[in-house]
Amino acid sequence: MNVVIIGAQWGDEGKGKMVDFLASDAQIVVRFSGGANAGHTIVLGGEKYALHLVPSGILYPDKTVILGSGMVIDPEALFKELEDLEKKGVDWKGRVFISDRAHLVLPRYREMDRETEARRSKPIGTTGRGIGVAYSLKASRDGVRLADIDDEERLVNLTDEDRAWLSLWKDRLLPLKIDMVAYLRQHRNTWRLFEGAQGALLDIDTGTYPFVSSGMSCAAGAAAQGGIGPRGIDRILGVFKAYSTRVGNGPFPTEFADDSAGSLSQYIRTVGNEYGTTTGRPRRCGYLDLVALRYACAVNSIDRLVLTHLDVYDDLEEFEACIGYRIDGQMREDFPASVRNLERAEPVLRTFSGWKTALGTCRTYEELPLRAREYIEFIEEFTETPISIVSVGSDRNHTIVRESPWIK
């Protein structure tokens, strides 16, 4: 059985936590896209693990994890991450594999990324990890795949420096290389999780272009870049927070206008610890945008939603969520493609009463206060998508399962 998990907002929704949680029932976890721009956090027994390239199933000693075909992999970052895991007692050897179709990020891509950003009149606010450069070269057919690094003919267009650098990593990369499609076919009777990076609104096609990342963070990415094809997907889960955040630049209709000391924006950033896992940048905060979430559900055929960070609202008297946009005086209930329209969109907000109760100890849906359930049920109705899992804290066990994704 194949379950896909993607971000349904602008990234950092808690995908790492959910993949780690659901991986207890899986045998294989495939990360299908992105690179070291991602930061997936797992908290286990008080210990924090920040993963960038390694799939979030790695903390279980018996799971196989695969870096999929849609990924762009910086070997330096990968082996540093694996060494850090080893220092924390995670034995990864023999169960971390890389698709031979995955692309590599060369050191000069990072420089090119920063130079391109510096030249932009409106910078995107990239993570500076060379991601856009790697995907551009992939699209222009000048990228370097893992399958190519021992094929001299494929490397003729590289500089001597590139080739020397690749030869440094070759002996460590090649033992991890697999034909992922064949591997998954051979292990077809396993339960597999497909872990997305970034989020639907940062996807190159479905996101707020050009303020997006360059990979496929949409569910379709799991089919094309996870090695199973569209019919292989059994279930698609979209993870979203009780509010919205965004790192880097680009339109964000529900962003709090006031970010001064004592503002709600700063409160949420502090309580939710909204600082980038990869760059440490403070995340921009705002209310939940249901128009954007409904769009993410539609464009990704999300079967079930996973709500995280509900506990961040524990102490609020009341809060709001966006149920429409007003653009030039006109009401809109759909998510516009134009950045200009998104920037001008005034959110139409609905107010919800807070629950003023700590949710951290709740383990069943019925234990949640009525006000929290009312919020959940409003979201389900608005998006026409059931919420099957609710997360009330960062630890693996801070999780309420209403319906397991593993049941067909």
- Quote the least distance from Cβ 43 to ligand GDP, whole Å: 5
**Two tokens, residue 5:** 């998990």
For ligand IMO, the closer of residues 275 and 406 by Cβ is: 275
**Two tokens, residue 349:** 């907000």
Among 394, 15, 407, 408, which residue's Cα sits nearest to residue 194? 15
Report the site for Mg ion in 264-323 (rule: CB under 5 A). 277
- Quote the least distance from Cβ 172 to Mg ion, whole Å: 26
133 belongs to the binding site for ligand IMO (CB under 6 A):
no
| 190-225 per-residue burial string, b: 16 or more CB within 10 A, e: under 16 | ebbbbbbbbbbbbbbebbbeebbbbbbbbbbbbbbb
- Quote the least distance from Cβ 55 to ligand IMO, whole Å: 12
Q: How many CB atoms lie within 10 A of CB 9?
A: 24
Clarify whether 12 is annotated catalytic.
yes
Report the site for ligand GDP in 389-408 (rule: CB under 6 A). 391-394
129 belongs to the binding site for ligand IMO (CB under 6 A):
yes
Residue, CB closest to ligand IMO: 248
Catalytic member of 12, 74, 148, 289? 12
Among 253, 351, 303, which residue's Cα sits nearest to residue 3? 303
14 binds, among ligand GDP, Mg ion, ligand IMO, none (CB under 5 to 8 A by kind): ligand GDP
For ligand IMO, the closer of residues 128 and 324 by Cβ is: 128
Q: Which residues lie across from 347 on neighbouring strands?
A: 325
Among 178, 196, 25, 18, which residue's Cα sits nearest to residue 95? 178
55 belongs to the binding site for ligand GDP (CB under 6 A):
no
Binding segment toward Mg ion, per CB under 5 A, in 35-43, 104-112, 281-289, 343-351: 35-43
| AA letter at 408 | K
238 belongs to the binding site for ligand IMO (CB under 6 A):
no
- Quote the least distance from Cβ 50 to ligand IMO, whole Å: 10
245 belongs to the binding site for Mg ion (CB under 5 A):
no
195 belongs to the binding site for Mg ion (CB under 5 A):
no
For ligand GDP, the closer of residues 17 and 63 by Cβ is: 17
221 binds, among ligand GDP, ligand IMO, Mg ion, none (CB under 5 to 8 A by kind): none
Binding mask 213-232 for ligand IMO (x = CB under 6 A): xx------------------
Residue listed under structure tokens 């319906």:
403
312 binds, among Mg ion, ligand GDP, ligand IMO, none (CB under 5 to 8 A by kind): ligand GDP
117 exposure class (CB count in 10 Å sphere: 0-12, 13-18, 19+): middle
Backbone angles phi, psi at 343, to 5 degrees: -70, -30
Catalytic member of 40, 52, 103, 309? 40
Q: How many whole angstroms separate alpha carbon 296 and alpha carbon 207?
A: 9
Q: How many whole angstroms separate alpha carbon 142 and alpha carbon 104?
A: 11
Q: How many whole angstroms separate alpha carbon 101 and alpha carbon 107?
A: 19
392 binds, among Mg ion, ligand GDP, ligand IMO, none (CB under 5 to 8 A by kind): ligand GDP
- Quote the least distance from Cβ 23 to ligand GDP, whole Å: 13
The 3-state secondary structure of 337-367, one letter per residue:
CCHHHHHHCEEEEEEEECCCCCCCCCCCHHH
Eight-state DSSP code of residue 329: T
- Quote the least distance from Cβ 38 to ligand IMO, whole Å: 3
273 belongs to the binding site for ligand GDP (CB under 6 A):
yes
Binding mask 9-48 for ligand GDP (x = CB under 6 A): --xxxxxxx---------------------xxx-x-----
Tell which one of 103, 269, 309, 396 touches ligand GDP (CB under 6 A).
Answer: 309
For Mg ion, the closer of residues 207 and 336 by Cβ is: 207
- Quote the least distance from Cβ 393 to ligand GDP, whole Å: 5
Contacts by residues 167-176 (CB-CB < 8 Å, ≥ 24 positions apart): 169/75, 169/76, 169/79, 172/75, 172/79, 173/75, 173/98, 173/146, 173/149, 174/149, 174/150, 176/96, 176/97, 176/98
Clarify whether 40 is annotated catalytic.
yes
Residues 164, 155 contacting (CB under 8 angstroms): no
For Mg ion, the closer of residues 44 and 348 by Cβ is: 44
Return the active site residues.
Answer: 12, 40
